[in-house]
Chain A
């Protein structure tokens, strides 16, 4: 039976992972888009993304478009799997309570 993932369980990181796993295969999200979507500050999002990257759940790519810096983020396959297991654990809690 799946267990809750303590890293993803944190509310902001849960929302970040929910956003990233809903992208299609091969897609990556712009940092600014993610920030505005989740209503976070730059710093807040950066800190949580760093923690997720350290765990291997997301990848961050910093590029330039012309002179403008751009940061792209996407969930790794490990991230997808960890999130999926976390959701399974949440659903198990709800199901257990309903029995």
Chain B
């Protein structure tokens, strides 16, 4: 094979890979945007609402978030281009992380809302890092940044922790999720 044909083949490979990635882009980016909007609303409201309402508020927000995510996944599935065998296991993976957090809160009698929030955020950060190892470096980077923002806000501005996480964490998820959607990841 001559050099010119080798170059042409490599160019063809790049074009096909690009086209495939754009045509098969999944809903991971959308999930991050949905989660980011939920955080922005939830944490911002959490800054101002009395603590007695926070549990209910987060329950309603999380149920809505999960419902929207399931609807998004089902709509995407109907497109039928590419299917992942991993989304089912990933759902149980996140469920296991939530159960782990609930167990920690119960066993160690954590009743401070800010500390519960910090624990949840660090778990989400860890969850994203592990997912990022499997899927895409950006997801891992988001996980690390969530953990850094959470610890930073907790130590530096504890009285504004919810607001900080709403804007920093929520904004990070919305921004990175939007980038993934636009670039077909």
Chain A positions near chain B (C-beta within 8 angstroms): 4, 9, 11, 14-15, 18-19, 21-30, 32-33, 37-38, 70, 72, 87, 90-91, 93-94, 96-98
Judge whether A14 and B9 touch: CB under 8 Å.
Answer: yes
- The 10 A-B pairs at the shortest CB distance, nearest first, are namely A97-B3, A26-B86, A18-B16, A22-B17, A93-B6, A33-B81, A19-B20, A18-B13, A26-B85, A22-B20
Judge whether B82 and A87 touch: CB under 8 Å.
Answer: no
Chain B positions near chain A (C-beta within 8 angstroms): 1-3, 6-7, 9-10, 12-13, 16-17, 19-21, 23-24, 26, 80-86, 134-136
Q: Which B residues lie within 8 Å of A15 (CB)? A: 12-13, 16
With A19-B17, A37-B19: A25-B10 Cβ-Cβ less than 8 Å:
no
Q: Is the interface of A mostly helix, strand, loop or mixed?
A: helix
By beta carbon, the residue of chain A nearest B135 is A24
Judge whether A28 and B20 touch: CB under 8 Å.
Answer: no
Judge whether A33 and B13 touch: CB under 8 Å.
Answer: no
With A87-B10, A94-B6: A27-B16 Cβ-Cβ less than 8 Å:
no
Judge whether B7 and A94 touch: CB under 8 Å.
Answer: yes
By beta carbon, the residue of chain A nearest B14 is A18
Q: Which B residues lie within 8 Å of A26 (CB)? A: 84-86
Min CB–CB distance A93 → chain B (angstroms):
4
Choose among A9, A32, A33, A96 the residue with the greatest number of B CB atoms under 10 Å from its CB. Answer: A33
Q: Which of A23, A87, A97 contacts B20 (CB 8 A)?
A: A23
Q: Which B residues lie within 8 Å of A9 (CB)? A: 1
Q: Which B residues lie within 8 Å of A29 (CB)? A: 20, 24, 81-82
By beta carbon, the residue of chain B nearest A28 is B83
Q: Which A residues lie within 8 Å of B12 (CB)? A: 11, 14-15, 18
Q: Which A residues lie within 8 Å of B19 (CB)? A: 19, 37
Q: Which B residues lie within 8 Å of A23 (CB)? A: 20, 24, 82
